[in-house]
Amino acid sequence: MALVQVSARLDPAKLRRAQKALGAKTASETLQRALDLVAEKAAHDRIIQRYSAVGKPDAFAES
């Protein structure tokens, strides 16, 4: 897998918290793990919405 080099301005405190939460050793590893989690959550949310009433316009309408 080819990696893309980017330049970003990040809040150092947020980066440290994310790094600790993800168990990452470097800023790059932290960002890779965070991106993986976001993509996985989006896929999970799509499955949940597809097979439940959550997120549909009338999901909380009174019966």
Let me know if residue 5 belongs to a domain.
no
Question: pTM score > 0.85 for this model?
Answer: no
Note down the domain range covering 41. 27-52
Let me know if residue 48 belongs to a domain.
yes
Task: Check if the beta carbon of residue 48 is closer than 8 Å to that of residue 54.
Answer: yes
Let me know if residue 35 belongs to a domain.
yes
Let me know if residue 15 belongs to a domain.
no
∠ Cα 38 40 43 (to 5°): 110
Structure token digits, residue 17: 């918290």
Instruction: Output the tens digit of pLDDT for each of the chain's 63 residues.
Output: 899 999 999 999 999 999 999 999 999 999 999 999 999 999 998 888 787 765 666 666 665
The number of distinct structural domains making up the chain is 1
Structure token digits, residue 13: 């405190």
Let me know if residue 32 belongs to a domain.
yes
